[in-house]
Chains A and B, each alone.
Chain A
């Protein structure tokens, strides 16, 4: 379970690293390789994006990755087949990031059963706010899947409390008012939000959207986050180079980021 692993990370006072990649970009075989590499180089969980035709919470980098994957004919069926092959060999639990329509299209219950049997452990649905999420949370829980809800900088304290109560595995704090993508500075608001959220929940909090480098990852860790989620920077590496170079680049980025969020504990250990 996602929450169990967070518990053990917490007992070691470790901040988790959650890289995100888009399935099928550039190829599904590359995605499988990338999952192994991220797992070996410091990922505590891996978020896998299902390419979608209309990803309205995503910025240009992930949107373009999804478009390329779809143009190459990537389908959910194949993504899940790949996941079924790869997931037994990964230490890091897999979290599926998908828009709601593909879930609805299959039937909420059938979808949850299918991803669970492929070895997925968690689910993030960026266009499904709390009010619409009840059915999915229940169906997912019945299949052993934890559904993580998102909190935004615009969310009121009341909403944050309600979301924190329902969110499973962890709470996904969106660090910017905006879509996914690299930002040069993190809003100080994230710090305040983290402090406020700590007062109302003891569930793990992961911060994502806009984190690209070691400095920002360390920043959210220092602000008290339980996880740093990094997407566009990984997706960019996989898209920019040929596959071998891309895979080497994400291995290095993964190591750097993990080091950044574990600086303190490394120092203690050494």
Chain B
């Protein structure tokens, strides 16, 4: 069984400094009211991450409730799809985070944070959600532990993700619609922070990505690092080596960092993050923060940010509600700047093709977020020689997105 490792075992280069910075990125850009809460959270996390009873409870729940470890699946038909006439081509594996309870990787973090919140004596939980996967994961663990739960969600996302809104409400969570801005993840996050500023003494904020002020980017990464540690063990078991390429979608970047982190110090492993190019990075409608953004501050952290020439945060666009975010986790910005991570983008249309492709080749309907990572194979595979092993983080399942795709009416035809 893998467990969250202790700081001293890890390379210093991917640990934030005392101000919570990865290089120049990260930090704590929040109203003073929240600073004591962040200090309290840092202290609690430092204590419980090495606490055997906390770890034992977490590991057991990850195993029995979440369903870990998730399989590393060899995608045979997808592999054949990209095979060259001479029989070479990428060997494609899927890390099946979609098989987790609630259908995405998000449950790893929500579960761990709710255990932490309970130990901190917090009875009220708030969260933000875009696609609803983090909201559902948080609603689930709050139901499991009998805690009051309020989830902020943009009104536009509530429409796109009606199924997940229903699931959250069914589990007793109050879903609060956010009308500000574009009614998407950025606005839901701001509203959750406002709630936290107001109710900080009774409330724990289960932030859903590797974004936000320190210690969230580090803590959420650690809670998802189980994805990468399992992957390493499974690769070892299947072929006795490391993967050559890791591929994951990046909105805030939690599933990607969860997979990458284990391999950051393995120079032979390429780390590739795929952002949402929406209608194209040359248009105003995309969410390709690392590709197109400039350094800025959003939701408490310094990172790459989509902003206009005045430093106003601009609206992001993606067909995928989970990628529709103008910021990105600070550790990704750092990995990009030091050249350790590679970040590219694919459009809505390319993601929709991949959505359909994976369904028809493998019988797996991926989340539209995940479909972005799959779609990059079209670009990546022709560039590769030999038969490198690619592991794609299949971060979530696509049930929630079926209505979105049906409405577009363009993808499915009788072929």
- Chain A residues with a Cβ under 8 A of chain B: 52-54, 56-57, 59, 63, 67, 70, 75-77, 99-106, 126-132, 149-156, 159, 163, 174, 177-179
B197:A179 contact, CB within 8 angstroms:
yes
A155:B32 contact, CB within 8 angstroms:
yes
Closest to A149 in B: B32
Which residues of B in the span 197-252 have a Cβ within 8 Å of any Cβ on A? 197-201
B36:A174 contact, CB within 8 angstroms:
no
Q: How far is the CB of A50 from chain B (nearest CB, A)?
A: 9
Stretch at the interface among B84-92, B114-122, B307-315: B307-315
Chain B residues within an 8 Å CB radius of A126: 31
B313:A132 contact, CB within 8 angstroms:
no
B193 CB within 8 Å of chain A: yes
- Expressed in whole angstroms, the Cα–Cα distance for A54 and B30 within the complex equals 12
Q: Given that A56-B194, A70-B312 are known contacts, is A100 also in contact with B200, CB under 8 Å in the complex?
A: no
B44 CB within 8 Å of chain A: no
B200:A101 contact, CB within 8 angstroms:
no
Q: How far is the CB of B170 from chain A (nearest CB, A)?
A: 29
Contact of B297 among A53, A100, A151 (CB under 8 A): A100
Contact with A along B271-311 (1 / 0, CB 8 A): 00000000000000000000000111111101001010111
Q: Given that A101-B298, A179-B197 are known contacts, is A163 also in contact with B32, CB under 8 Å in the complex?
A: yes
Chain A residues within an 8 Å CB radius of B186: 54
Chain B residues within an 8 Å CB radius of A100: 29, 297
Q: Given that A54-B298, A101-B296, A155-B36 are known contacts, is A129 also in contact with B190, CB under 8 Å in the complex?
A: no
B310:A156 contact, CB within 8 angstroms:
no
Closest to A127 in B: B29
A150:B32 contact, CB within 8 angstroms:
yes
Among A53, A77, A104, A149, the most chain B Cβ lie within 10 Å of the Cβ of A53
A105:B190 contact, CB within 8 angstroms:
no
A104:B297 contact, CB within 8 angstroms:
yes
A152:B32 contact, CB within 8 angstroms:
yes
Q: Given that A63-B180, A154-B201, A177-B197 are known contacts, is A101 also in contact with B307, CB under 8 Å in the complex?
A: yes
A104:B36 contact, CB within 8 angstroms:
no
Chain A residues within an 8 Å CB radius of B10: none
Nearest 8 pairs of A and B residues by beta carbon: A105-B311, A102-B311, A178-B198, A152-B33, A152-B32, A53-B312, A57-B31, A150-B32
A174:B32 contact, CB within 8 angstroms:
yes
Which residues of B in the span 59-83 have a Cβ within 8 Å of any Cβ on A? none
B31:A104 contact, CB within 8 angstroms:
no
Contact of A101 among B27, B30, B31, B313 (CB under 8 A): B313
A154:B296 contact, CB within 8 angstroms:
no
- Expressed in whole angstroms, the Cα–Cα distance for A56 and B201 within the complex equals 18
Contact of B194 among A103, A153, A179 (CB under 8 A): A179
Chain A residues within an 8 Å CB radius of B28: 129, 131-132
Chain B residues within an 8 Å CB radius of A129: 28-32, 35
Q: Given that A54-B313, A101-B297, A101-B307 are known contacts, is A154 also in contact with B19, CB under 8 Å in the complex?
A: no
B181 CB within 8 Å of chain A: yes
Chain A residues within an 8 Å CB radius of B37: 154
A177:B311 contact, CB within 8 angstroms:
no
Chain B residues within an 8 Å CB radius of A128: 29
Closest to B305 in A: A101
A156:B36 contact, CB within 8 angstroms:
yes
- Expressed in whole angstroms, the Cα–Cα distance for A100 and B31 within the complex equals 11
Q: List 20 A-B contacts (CB under 8 A).
A: A53-B181, A54-B186, A54-B299, A54-B313, A56-B190, A57-B31, A101-B296, A101-B313, A102-B310, A105-B310, A106-B311, A127-B29, A127-B297, A127-B300, A149-B32, A154-B33, A154-B36, A155-B35, A174-B31, A178-B198
Chain B residues within an 8 Å CB radius of A131: 19, 27-28, 35
Q: How far is the CB of A67 from chain B (nearest CB, A)?
A: 7
